[in-house]
Structure 1
């Protein structure tokens, strides 16, 4: 039975939260988000320009490239869906 690498998941989550905090100017509030925290539609500052900013910083920090056809609104639905996306790109 394969178990997830919890430390890697936690590291990815923490980095994603840091990026969200930075791009959306949340002043540290993202540190209280969990995997179920809604993003798109729940955070007023998460508009199309912020999504572009998030993608750019994720590409820089994680060292991957995001193609236009790889993402849609569901990618940014929750913290968990965004972390899953990043982990999928890193796999």
Structure 2
């Protein structure tokens, strides 16, 4: 997938794919995520060690740059918060 085609694709399915791949979650489990689904502190697979890998993979697949200052507990608290963060970063492009 090129960066151009990625720009026209919703971040939601890509973000779900990243969470599935990086955290080793099943497709069914990730498909059930809604905006209020807890992530950090709720998913045992998403521990402090997994955060760096998750953010790196999000950067790579969604062609965004996540600065250290961008990372806080709020952005990783729920699926909806992470999706909103990613979509905002893509708009900054």
TM-score after normalising by structure 1: 0.84
Consecutive unaligned residues in structure 1, runs of 5 or more: 1-7
Match status 1:33 vs 2:29: no
| Kept in 1: contact 2:40–2:78 (CA 8 A) | yes
Consecutive unaligned residues in structure 2, runs of 5 or more: 1-6
Deviations 1:30-87 (A, max 9, x none): 1111111111111011011211111101110111111101110111000100001101
SS in 2 for 1:73: coil
Tell which deviates more after alignment, 51-60 or 27-36.
27-36
Residue correspondences, number: 83
Equivalent residue, structure 2, for 1:50: 50
**Aligned-partner Cα distance in 1 for 2:10–2:62:** 11
The 5 A counterparts of 1:1-91 are 11-28=10-27, 29-91=29-91
Deviations 1:17-36 (A, max 9, x none): 11111111012111111111
Moved over 6 A (4+): none
**Aligned-partner Cα distance in 2 for 1:19–1:63:** 13
**Aligned-partner Cα distance in 1 for 2:31–2:80:** 14
TM-score after normalising by structure 2: 0.82
